[in-house]
Amino acid sequence: MLPLRQKAPWCGHCKKLKPDWDKLADEFAGSSKVLIADVDCTGAGKPLCEKYGVRGYPTIKSFSPPDVVGDDYKGGRDLAALKAYASDLGPGCAVDAMENCSEEQKKALATYIAMDPDERANKLATLSKSLKDAEEAHEALLKSLQASYKESMENLEKLKAGAAPEIKLLKAATPSAKVETPAKDEV
């Protein structure tokens, strides 16, 4: 099991997490089940971060063999939360490691074990392609939205720059409203 913190050296959240992450790594240093690691997504680790779809920092992913996709960690970022999460990690459930499977996992896995190997491979390929296509569509949408936002922002800034002098003159040419002092009622 590998919890992996993907980070950027300039990231404030990464810097804040680092002391607790380092303590976590120290606590699991001798573990045969858990390895705590760091990846610099702006340096040599950039291809790895791109491979696993890291979009923000710090990203914490865990990998339990035979899983090669990884799970995103969404829990707390303090030492206690990280330690509780890492303590529950270990090798994953697989046909070659049935001792790691719960009864529920064994039942779910039995369906796929019984499946024809070619059918299983095709199903995996189909689901993986669907996920990849959805991610690519999402990225295309994001780029489109960013381009639209940038264009809108540029148009707004041009309008502001063009209208500002005239707005200033219009305001300057408009007399101030006189404030009348209310009459006092005497009782």
Is 41 tagged catalytic? no
HEC sequence for the chain: CEEEEEECCCCHHHHHHHHHHHHHHHHCCCCCCCCCEEEECCCCCHHHHHHCCCCCCCEEEEECCCCCCCEECCCCCCHHHHHHHHHCCCCCCECCEHHHCCHHHHHHHHHHHHCCHHHHHHHHHHHHHHHHHHHHHHHHHHHHHHHHHHHHHHHHHHHHHHHHHHHHHHHHHCCCCCCCCCCCCCC
> Of 14, 41, 49, 93, which one is the catalytic site residue?
14
Is 101 tagged catalytic? no
Report, as residue numbers or ranges, the catalytic residues.
11, 14
